[in-house]
Structure 1
Amino acid sequence: MSRGFSLSGLMRVRGIQERAAAQRLSRAVIDAEQSDARERHARAALDAAGSEAVDVRTLAAIAAARVAARRQLSEFESLAQLQAEAVDEAREAHREARREIRALDRLADAHALREQAAFLKAEQNEIDEIAGRTRRDDAT
């Protein structure tokens, strides 16, 4: 008498989509953290670089290295901003996937409750019929 949940296939698909969204979110967070670490490392290297120039050539080399390092830091900042946007997009996609799977879970729970109620009602009807037959048999 029990019917299966008709949206169980869709639930499996939504579960796969939710796990894929979680993976994308995780990857985006890892990429952002690695970029932040590279930026911190570059800043530390720039701060640690010596600035003692003994002649004009050394001074020019130090200036060029600092310009290149600042350009690299600027690129790191741009990359960090892009990755923060990617994390936000991945987080929103994961949130949406979780919302969809929760909606289906609620439908599945409601279906299970209806099936349980139908089973209990059928069982109660059988018990009532057996009790009615027993009374009729006792009366005769």
Structure 2
Amino acid sequence: MSSKNWLNKVKWDTNGLVPAVVQQSSSNDILMVAWMNREALIKTIELKRAVYFSRSRNKLWFKGEVSGHLQHVREVRLDCDRDVVLLRVEQVSDIACHTGRHSCFFWKFEGFLNKGDWISIDPILKNPESIYL
């Protein structure tokens, strides 16, 4: 990519990061939320494959590099405030979450009248221990 002026339109936080919401293009399911730095966003656009920034490891994270659960990027959007990126992806093997589920958003709050709790609503599609050997 020759000109990186488009990167300056993103409102990066004080750590040089922007949150990325990841949505499955075929179903509109929200799969996960991750962080991107400039390099991750550039690589994502160049490779048409999701690349994030791991805050815990302080390095680029090529989604699916270990698990095989790649995300092929179909579209990249920026929200109205330009401080959140939306990646519309094709999720390989239908597993986006490190827990072996389709989505990281598998906890649902049940009960709103002074009591309730979070329940898991999505099945584990693959045992995470067999994904991350």
* Bigger RCO (CA 8 Å, 6+ sep): 1
Q: Which TM-score applies when normalising by structure 1?
A: 0.20
More helix by share: 1
TM-score, normalised via structure 2 length: 0.21
Q: Which has the higher strand share?
A: 2
